[in-house]
Structures are given as structure tokens and as C-alpha cells.
Amino acid sequence: MNTKQENIIRTDYAEVMQKSYIDYAMSVIIARALPDVRDGLKPVQRRTLYDMYELGIRYDRPYRKCARIVGDTMGKYHPHGDSSIYEALVVMAQDFKKGKTLVDGHGNFGSIEGDGAAAMRYTEARLEKLTQEVFLGDLDKDVVDFVPNFDETEKEPAVLPVRIPNLLVNGADGIAVGMATSIPPHNLSEVVDAVKAYMKNNEISVKGLMRYLKGPDFPTGGIVVNKDDLLNIYETGTGKLRLRGKVEVEKLKGGRLQLVITEIPYTMLGANIGKFLNDVASLVETKKTTDIVDISNQSSKEGIRIVLELRRDTDVENLTNMLYKKTRLEDTFGVNMLAVADGRPETLSLKQVIEYHVDFLFEVTTRKYNTLLSKELEKKEIQEGLIKACDVIDLIIEILRGSKNREQVKKCLVEGITTDIKFKSKASEKAAKNLRFTERQATAILEMRLYKLIGLEVEALQAEYGETMKNIALYEDILNNYDSMAGVIIKELDGIKKEYGTKRRTAIENAEEVVYEEKKMEEMEVCFLMDRFGYTKIIDKSAYERNKEAAHAENKYIFTCMNTDKICIFTDSGRMHTIKVVDIPLVRFRDKGTPADNLSNYNSAEEQMLYVAPMAQVNNSVLLFVTAGSMCKLVEGNEFDVAKRTIASTKLAEGDRLIFVGASEEMEQVVLKSCNGYFLRFLKQEIPVKKKSAIGVRGMKLAEGDTLEHAYLLESHQEYTITCNDKPYSLNKVKLAKRDTKGVKPRL
């Protein structure tokens, strides 16, 4: 029998969920998505670089397969998906994404146009010299804390001893839970100058720092055009940068010009270059501009080169402004300088980022020189022992020869114990009792080789001792004097700037809002054609006149309209979709049209067209709406003249659908036909004019299970014949009755 008492802890489910979710959120924020302000790295980046360092994949050694690096990182330090590790590795090797690449990639690491990197089994990598010297240089000097890895079988650095504010140099982007970071890259030389300025004057303002750090410096170049907003962005850590591509004008033979885009906004990286080309092509197709003759992407490893060939009389400035306005050649970059500081996420100003990093630099430098000092003090102790030993070397040799084992010698050297040691004289024994070497000195003496007793070697030992004393004095001065330590840090920063600094690539200026004067469209009459499959096109009126017979044979909807008009499409779902005539390609008569699905929100798989007409015609009409449930109404056409691309053209009862929409102003009678073969003819004036948001009134009394199949509009003297049960039937024969009656079933 189990007598053990179970201790059931009762708790509110909401509390458990809240605590679990907060734990998960903090794990994502701290351990995955956000960089640390000290080294500017996310955990996956830090672990990958450290693993490469541990594997010995240095900048001056051969490349190693990325699959090896990813596998080792995942097995030792980062127990997450291999794809996330490889993606981080790839990004650190892409010079078009990072201000300074941290990994030297060999093979296909993707392109600026959005091509992905090759699989990790094909690519190779090694550390960049910058990474090895500036990010990982002093790891052997106990400069940072090491923590256990996920299974406590290895140790990994909690942070890398990075000597530059990498958060600014390379920027960062990441999406956590409830927060995201987006920090633009900056110029290394300017960042170093800003750090030095802060170290010389801790009271410096953000505005003062910006005398050195002008603004972001994107690897893709481009232009930041809202210079005046930068101060507020750097003071608050949030804001929006307005970026533009760099456009140059080149002259061709014959006086023609071409626009050449040589630098793109950072936000246009990847697939957005292809989207930009498509957007420009769309502007040409929709006749928004007729100035562009040809578009070509001539980009290569040398850089971006997108060429737009222009007509002779092109207004280049206006066209450039149109590209800024209508495409991503001008874009915004949202800045949110969020990073992990003191173990928690914090939105930081420019000064705070530098402040945190400088504090980290002093901490790292202090630990480095404490380690170096302790090593020098250890050397000093040993050197003093060896120098002292050289002075009494004869006595030490006598002790060695008179002793039975190593322990006896050591006790004599350290404590002066001479028991069981044979001496040549009492004087030697008395001198031996006065020896007081330290443990470390005694060990060094016992391990000393005889050649060290040569005169020159003794002199070298004394010279080394002098050098050690100088180093001790230097290290103590650095550790005890703020200015000395600051001087060391600044000297290191100057060396980094000299070796790795580059010129600024992104221009920073104030530019006025783009003013684009859209050319007024030349108003002209065109012909609209739509076939039974919904393929739509616009042709010249003259082309229609030449092919009138073929046009009517092949198309369902044909009418003339102005190119400034809109086309209205009424569907059985009760919606009205509009298409601007200017958005429909103007083609030759035999060219295939464009599906209406591609030009509007109309979905041919879910709804059926009932009525298509130009907005100008709809405006001057009174439309009849009839539903399968026999609800009908008249609506003034001007109710449909709206700016939205899609609206509800009528209100439908649940389960009901439209079966007929048509212009009724010239018609006098309505005929309704049900699925069971009943017909009802009555005067149109019996149907009230309602708003488009009304359901309407009943047209025919339907038998149970019956629905309306079709509606017809007639003139009083018009002969209108339909096919019913495969036989011709004249609707004029239907007895004129009243609305809301049962109707008749003809004998055929």
C-alpha cells in the first residue's frame, strides 16, 4: 500500500499561462532575437564566431566547409535549427548587408538581387582579420565571463570582447515577442571618432557626437534626404530615415539620354530590385509615362547599374521625381535602436550606445591588464629567484648533491630544513638554513638548465627582469590611472581605424519633398472589349470600326468610352468592381486581353458578371436589380460613382444572390422567369426606386422551392423572343399582370 501523500498545488490557469508566456517571451528577446549592446551580436552570431575561433578557422588559414561550422555550433553551443545558424553565417559574410563583414565567405553566398546562398555543404568560410583581431583578440586573457553551454559540457563567452561599438558599425535587425529592433549600419571611422570624443568629454551631447558621426552609412550607398530629422532619431533611438537611390544622367549618341541608377536604398535589397523593375515597367504599360524607351539591369559584381533609356525630349527631373514618388527608389527605413543592456531590452540613444560600449571597453581593458599584471608579477617572482640562485649556485649544487630526493631539496630551498642533507662544511649547512625561496622560485630553480649559468645568460636574465619591472610599472599605471587606460584604448581605436576604416558611402543631405507634375492625360474615345472568359482590352476606335464584325462575334461586352472613365462590373455576389480605363492595356485588335481578375478585385472563381458598363453610362442610368429570391428594386446610377475599387451594389438576404442588373430608363415593362417555368409581366413603374443599401420589394410570388432564373426588360412595342424548352417563345404573349402575383406557366 502506497502511503505517500501527494501534494497537489492548485493554481489559476490564467496565471500559469501568463507566467509561461512571459518566460517564453523573455527567452526569445534575450537569447535569440535582440543583440547585446556590448558586442552588438545576437547569441547565434556570437556562438558561430566563437566556434570558428575554437575550430581554428582563422583569416590566414584555409577555408572550412560551412556545414562543419554549422554542425559544430549547433552541437556545442546553439541547440536550434541548422538553417538559422547558416542564415546568420551567410549574412555575416554579405558585404551588401553589413557595414563590415565578419566572415570571409568562399563560394555562392547570395547576391544583392535576392539570390539565396548555396547549400552549406557547398560553401566554405573563415574568420575575417577584423573579426579575429577586434572581436576575438583577447579571449585568452580572461577579459569576459565564460558560462556553461546548454548541456554544461562546454564553456562559451557570455559576450565577445569587441573593441568597437559593433551595434553601430554593423547595425542590427530582429523581431522578438512584442518588440523589434532595427538599427542602421554606420561608418567605422566615424564611430571610432565619436567614441574617442565621448571618452575625452563624458558630458558631450548627441548633437556634439554627430559632429563626428554624421549619420547612417549603408553598404549600398544611396542618399539619406532628411538630415534635419537625424538629431531627434539619435536622441530618442526611434524615427524614420528617408532614403533615395543615386541617379545619374548619361548622354548617348544622337542626343538621347539615359538614366542610370548606380546606388539603391538599403531597403531595396534582394527581391525589391526585381519589384522596382516591374514597377517601372508597369508605369510604361499603363501609360503613366511615355518617356522610358527601354529598361535593363546591367548590375554585376562591380556594383548596381540599372539603365533606363529615354526619349529625346524627356523632362529628366520630372521623370526622376516620378520614380521617387511611384517606386521604391525613395523609401523609408524605420529606426528602433533596441538592444539588450544590463540583461534587459532597452531603447537607446546614440550617446547611450556609446556609453555602454565605453564602460564595457574599460571593463575588458581592466581585466586584460589585471591578467597581464599577474603574469608579470609571476615572472618577476621567478626571475628574482633565479637571479638570487645564480649568486648562491655553489650552495644549491651542494644541496642537490647531498639530498636523497627532490622533496628534500625543495624543503631546504623554501624553509631552510637541512635534515638528512649531507654538506661539505658546517658553514654551508648554516647558509642553507637561511635560504627562503618561494614555492614557485624553488620549482623554477629545480627545473633550471645548466647552460643558464653562462655569463651572457645571466646578463640576459637580469635584462629580462628589468623589462618585467617596466611592464609591471606600466600595467599598474594603466590600472590605477583613468587617463592612462583611456590613452591605451584610444591608441587601439586609432589602430583599428587606420587598418579597417573606409570612406563614407551614403550621402547625407536635406532634400525637399519630391514634386511630381503628372502629365494630364490626353482625353480620347476608345473601344472596350471583353470576351466571355473575362479577358479585357482597349483598342483604338478606328481599329474597332475596321473589325466591327469580328469584334461582335468574339466578345460579350462591347462599347465605346473615354480613356479617363472607369468600367463598372456588377456581379451575382452583390458587389460592384471598378477598373480605370487607363489601367487596361491599349493593344492591337488581335492581341489577347488581360483577365479582369488581374485588373480589379473581381474573382471569376467565386462570382459571375451580370452587367458591365462605363461609369459615365451608369451615372445617367436607373438600374434594375433582381435577385433569385424575387426581390427587385430600381437604383439611381449616380449612387455608384464612388472612389473605392469595390463596393456592395445592393443588400442581399441571407442565401440570396443577384440574377439580373440592367439599365432600365428606356424600358417600360419587366418580365420575370422562374426556374419552374412561371412567367410574370408587369409595368416597371410598380417597382420603387430605392437606395443601393435596401433589399427591395417582391417581384413574383414563388412556389415553395422555386427561384427566379432570369429577368427581362421590354419596351411596350418591342417584340422580344426567347428560347424556352427548346422552342421560341414571345415574352409579349405573357399576360400583363400586377407585381407580387404568381405569374403564369405557358403551354408550349
Cell numbers linked to 99: 557595414
- With H, G, I as helix, E, B as strand and everything else as coil, classify residue 101: coil
Q: How far is CA 44 from CA 57, 80, 94, 108, in A?
A: 17, 9, 16, 21
Cell numbers linked to 43: 547569441
Pinpoint the alpha helices (H) of 238-349: 271-285, 316-326
Pinpoint the alpha helices (H) of 481-607: 482-500, 541-546, 548-554, 596-599
Cell numbers linked to 501: 576604416
Give bridge partners of residue 285 from the DSSP assignment.
none
What burial class does residue 560 get, using C-beta atoms within 10 Å of its C-beta: 0-12 exposed, 13-18 middle, 19+ buried?
exposed
CB proximity list for 15: less than 8 A, separation 6 or greater: none
Say which DSSP state 653 is in: -
What burial class does residue 72 get, using C-beta atoms within 10 Å of its C-beta: 0-12 exposed, 13-18 middle, 19+ buried?
buried
E strands within 629-724? 631-636, 646-648, 658-663, 669-674, 679-683, 697-698, 708-714, 721-724
Amino acid at the residue 35? P
Spatial separation of the C-alpha atoms in residues 278 and 165, rounded to whole Å: 39
Spatial separation of the C-alpha atoms in residues 489 and 366, rounded to whole Å: 11
| Beta carbons of 544 and 564 less than 8 angstroms apart | no
CB proximity list for 483: less than 8 A, separation 6 or greater: none
| Beta carbons of 242 and 218 less than 8 angstroms apart | no
Q: Which of 21, 24, 122, 482 is catalytic?
A: 122
Which among 66, 35, 272 has a CA at the least distance from the CA of 169?
35
Amino acid at the residue 425? S
* Catalytic residue list contains 266: no
Spatial separation of the C-alpha atoms in residues 584 and 384, rounded to whole Å: 94
Amino acid at the residue 324? Y
CA dihedral sign, ordered 223, 226, 227, 232: negative
| Beta carbons of 73 and 197 less than 8 angstroms apart | no
Q: How far apart are the first and last CA of the chain?
A: 92
- Give the number of other Cβ atoms within 10 Å of residue 568's Cβ: 25
**What b/e readout covers 651-688, taking b as 16+ CB neighbours within 10 angstroms?**
bbeeebbbbbbbbbeebebbbbbbeeebbbbbebeebe
Reduced to 3 DSSP states, what percent helix, strand and coil does the chain have, rounded to the nearest 5? Answer: 40, 25, 40
Catalytic residue positions?
122
